[in-house]
Amino acid sequence: MSQDNGRIEKVSIVISRGSLDGVYPGLIMANGARMEGIEANLFFTFFGLETIMTKHMDKLKVATVGNPAMHMPSVVGMLPGMSALATKMMGREMEKIDIPPVPEFVEMVHDAGVELYACRATVDMFHLKKEDFCPEVEDIINVGQFYEMAHGGQIIFT
**Does 1 score more than 50 pLDDT?**
no
What pLDDT, on the 0 to 100 scale, is given for residue 24?
95
| CA–CA separation, 151 and 130 (whole Å) | 25
What pLDDT, on the 0 to 100 scale, is given for residue 81?
74
| CA–CA separation, 27 and 13 (whole Å) | 9
Q: Cβ–Cβ contacts within 10 Å for residue 121, how many?
A: 12
Q: What is the mean pLDDT of residues 14-29?
A: 95
**Does 30 score more than 70 pLDDT?**
yes
> Which of 100, 111, 101, 119 shows the shortest CA–CA distance to 136?
111
| CA–CA separation, 29 and 27 (whole Å) | 5
Helix (H) or strand (E) holding 107: helix 102-111
Q: Do you know the residue count of the chain?
A: 158
What pLDDT, on the 0 to 100 scale, is given for residue 111?
98
**Does 3 score more than 60 pLDDT?**
no
**Does 77 score more than 70 pLDDT?**
no
Q: Running DSSP on this structure, what letter comes out for residue 86?
A: H
**For 10-157, CATH number?**
3.40.1260.10
Q: Note if the pTM is more than 0.85.
A: yes
| CA–CA separation, 109 and 106 (whole Å) | 5
| CA–CA separation, 108 and 102 (whole Å) | 10
DSSP three-state, residue 85: helix
Domain boundaries, the chain: 10-157
**46 band by pLDDT with thresholds 50, 70 and 90:** very high
Residue 157 φ then ψ, to 5°: -110, 120
